[in-house]
């Protein structure tokens, strides 16, 4: 009996593994941007992140969920988002820095100028 069930169980297990991997689509290739090429406001925001604040917007430092999976997969809470002010904007604007890990010490940083539709990893 077990010898007949084993192949069926193995196929079912393989299907579950395959489905799980399909849901975890890999992050797209992310281009880099040198810190010197960022807008002044982005460099100022990065300095605030490293200093631990204070931040001008209440949403700064909140969890970024990476729902579109544009960034490398990480556990929930790994990424935090911060506003990069946009001169002339009447609201927070579209520019953000998303920090991963411990942003003050050895974190990774991503810049988006189009409200999460694309990212560039900040190279220092």
Mean pLDDT per 10-residue section of the chain, whose length is 124 residues: 51 44 56 96 96 94 94 94 93 95 81 95 92
> Tokens 């220092």, residue?
124
- Classify domain 29-123 by CATH architecture: Roll (3.10)
pLDDT of residue 43: 97
pLDDT of residue 60: 97
| Angular region, 29: left φ>0, alpha ψ -120 to 50, beta rest | beta
Alpha-carbon distance 51 to 69, whole Å?
Answer: 28
Domain boundaries, the chain: 29-123
Between the CA of residue 57 and those of 14, 16, 53, what are the distances in Å?
A: 47, 43, 10
pLDDT of residue 6: 47
pLDDT of residue 104: 67
pLDDT of residue 20: 44
For 21-82, give the DSSP string: HHHSPPPPP-EEEEGGGS-HHHHHHHHHHHHT---SSTTTTEEP--TT--SPP--TTSEEEE
Active site residues: 81, 115
Examine residue 10 and say whether the peptide bond preceding it is cis (omega within 30 degrees of 0): no
pLDDT of residue 25: 47
pLDDT of residue 27: 56
pLDDT of residue 1: 57
């Amino acid at each position: 009996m077990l010898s007949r069930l084993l192949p069926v169980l193995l196929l079912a297990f393989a299907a579950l593994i395959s489905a799980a991997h399909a849901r975890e689509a890999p992050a797209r290739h992310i281009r880099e941007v040198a810190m010197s090429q960022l807008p002044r406001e982005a460099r100022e925001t990065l300095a605030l992140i490293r200093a631990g604040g204070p931040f001008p917007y209440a949403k700064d430092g909140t969890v970024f969920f990476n729902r579109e999976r544009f960034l490398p997969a990480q556990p929930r809470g790994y990424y935090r988002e911060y506003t990069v002010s946009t001169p002339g904007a009447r609201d927070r604007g579209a520019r953000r820095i998303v920090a991963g890990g411990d942003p003050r010490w050895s974190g990774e940083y991503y810049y988006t100028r189009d409200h999460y539709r694309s990212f560039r990893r900040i190279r220092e």
